[in-house]
């Protein structure tokens, strides 16, 4: 089975293909000797670089390869500059394509290079992590980090197509896979109660990476992101619902250091537990639903509590970190809150006392 999801952005619209063992024809582009640069990281290139190069050759491209070190530290301007040099060395012209083969780090980095080299060459996203398949490869946000913060430089730049082949998830480390599931759960909470029920029902099969079960779930997540992005490409309104659980989540990552104690999805899982507690306190989110969310995250192997050692710096550090969230205005963070599973509201301001009490309620026995 294969799912094709169209992202409806008029002339910049594109298809996302989700399947297992996708054939070369899935790449809708064909070429007559045009250049392609496959950008990947040192973990992913040895696993899938040859196969993707063969796929591009089968479609008439002449692919070259660029391999960057794995890890978030690579997502910076120094590697952007190095990749521009690779683009030149590979002879990329305006008809060329850049192929981002990897997780979200490679997708954001190579996407930014594609957006800016020659003022933009075509970008194909070939996500290989679960997070990249359901989130970062869709929607057109590209960019890199500065020393002073994450994703501070970037561009909205839509790919011409996305090829999400679930087979590539087989090699994804367990913790990375589980971390990606946090974003999957998020889609259920913000948009689709039926998806949420499916996740509850199929938690074991999902944990085993049963592709028959996962494929329609990944496709549904892409569909939801596509719908949201089509309405609000540049995040001036409803797109911010994709940040459910991310206000505290980003704070947790910031305080503990990116790539530190918590992976992104793990921090988002904890952030969703907090957002659910806030939702109950401020928006009447039923306690049953709050508990279902926590139970589902647990069943999928995601953290719902920081454990006995608590959060580094405790509430004070996390509250401070929330002030640097991009939704915060004048030290007042704006939250996405759930009214019920499948329906959220955004831009919510919550009383300071409630912020603190919800933290204690969500992470009782923590600091």
Ligand X SMILES: NC(=O)c1ccc[n+]([C@@H]2O[C@H](COP(=O)([O-])OP(=O)(O)OC[C@H]3O[C@@H](n4cnc5c(N)ncnc54)[C@H](O)[C@@H]3O)[C@@H](O)[C@H]2O)c1
> Which residues are part of the catalytic machinery?
119, 141, 183, 225, 235, 239, 243, 246, 250, 264
Site for ligand X in 107-126 (CB under 6 A): 108
Output the smallest distance, CB 172 to ligand X, in A: 4
d(CA 342, CA 224) in angstroms, rounded, equals 11
Report DSSP state, residue 329.
B
Give me the 91-110 binding string for ligand X, x by CB under 6 A, dash otherwise. Answer: -----------xxxxx-x--
Smallest gap from residue 149 Cβ to ligand X (A): 11
Residue 247 to residue 250: CA distance in whole angstroms: 6
Closest distance to ligand X from the beta carbon of 169 (Å): 6
Within 148-232, strands assigned E span 149-156, 161-165
Take residue 357 and report the two structure tokens written for it. 């009490």
Stretch that binds ligand X, among 23-31, 68-76, 293-301, 322-330 (CB under 6 A): 68-76
Cα(183)–Cα(54) distance, rounded to whole angstroms? Answer: 31
Task: Tell me how far apart the alpha carbons of residues 159 and 48 are, in angstroms, rounded to a whole number.
Answer: 20
Q: Which is nearer to ligand X, 264 or 290 (CB)?
A: 264
If the CB atoms of residues 72 and 320 are measured against ligand X, the closer one turns out to be 72
Q: Taking the CB of residue 60, how many other CB atoms lie within 10 A of it?
A: 13
To ligand X, the closest distance from the beta carbon of 123 in angstroms equals: 12
| Residue numbers 128-167 binding ligand X by CB under 6 A | 128-129, 131-132, 135-136, 139, 141, 151
Tell me the C-alpha to C-alpha distance, in Å, between residue 154 and each of 69, 105, 279, 302, 355.
Answer: 20, 13, 32, 30, 31
Question: For residues 19-58, which are near ligand X according to CB under 6 A?
Answer: 41, 43-44, 47
CB of 157 to ligand X, least distance (A): 10
Q: Which CB sits closer to ligand X, 80 or 106?
A: 106
- SS3 for 170? helix
What distance in Å separates the CA atoms of residue 127 and residue 121, rounded to the nearest whole number? 18
Q: How far apart are CA 283 and CA 184, in angstroms?
A: 23
Which stretch, 52-60, 171-179, 278-286, 306-314, contacts ligand X (CB under 6 A)? Answer: 171-179
Indicate the residue among 34 and 41 with the shorter CB distance to ligand X: 41
What residues pair up with 202 in beta bridges, in sequence order?
A: none
In the chain, count H helices and then E strands: 13, 11
Out of 172, 206, 217, 337, name the contact with ligand X by CB under 6 A: 172
Binding interface with ligand X (CB under 6 A): 41, 43-44, 47, 70, 72, 75, 102-106, 108, 128-129, 131-132, 135-136, 139, 141, 151, 168-169, 171-172, 176, 264
């Amino acid at each position: 089975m294969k799912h094709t999801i169209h992202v409806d952005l008029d002339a910049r619209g594109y298809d996302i293909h989700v399947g297992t063992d996708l054939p070369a024809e899935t790449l809708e582009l064909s070429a007559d000797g045009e250049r392609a640069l496959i950008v990947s990281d040192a973990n992913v290139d040895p696993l899938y670089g040859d196969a993707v190069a063969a796929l591009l050759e089968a479609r008439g491209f002449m692919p070259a390869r660029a391999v960057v070190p794995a890890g978030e530290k690579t997502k910076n301007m120094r590697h952007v500059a190095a990749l521009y040099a690779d683009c030149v060395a590979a002879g990329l012209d305006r008809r060329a394509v850049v192929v981002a083969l990897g997780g979200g780090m490679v997708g954001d980095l190579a996407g930014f290079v594609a957006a800016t080299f020659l003022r933009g060459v075509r970008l194909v996203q070939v996500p290989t992590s679960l997070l990249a398949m359901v989130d970062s490869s869709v929607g057109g946000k590209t960019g890199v980090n500065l020393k002073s913060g994450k994703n501070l430089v970037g561009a909205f730049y839509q790919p011409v197509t996305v090829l999400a082949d679930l087979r590539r998830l087989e090699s994804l480390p367990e913790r990375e896979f589980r971390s990606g599931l946090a974003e999957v759960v998020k889609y259920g909470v913000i948009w689709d109660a039926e998806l949420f029920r499916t996740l509850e029902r199929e938690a074991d099969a999902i944990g085993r990476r049963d592709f028959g079960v996962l494929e329609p779930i990944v496709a549904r997540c892409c569909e939801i992101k596509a719908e949201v992005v089509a309405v609000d490409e540049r995040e001036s309104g409803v797109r911010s619902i994709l940040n459910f659980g991310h206000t505290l989540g980003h704070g947790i990552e910031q305080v503990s250091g990116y790539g530190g104690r918590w992976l992104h999805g793990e921090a988002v899982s904890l952030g969703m537990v907090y957002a659910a507690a806030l939702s109950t306190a401020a928006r009447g989110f039923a306690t049953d639903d709050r508990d279902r969310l926590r139970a589902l995250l647990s069943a999928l192997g995601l953290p719902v509590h920081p454990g006995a050692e608590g959060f580094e710096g405790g509430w004070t550090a996390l509250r401070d970190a929330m002030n640097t969230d991009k939704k915060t205005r004048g030290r007042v963070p704006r939250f996405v809150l759930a009214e019920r599973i499948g329906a959220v509201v955004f831009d919510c301001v919550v009383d300071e006392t409630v912020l603190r009490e919800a933290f204690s309620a969500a992470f009782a026995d923590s600091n």
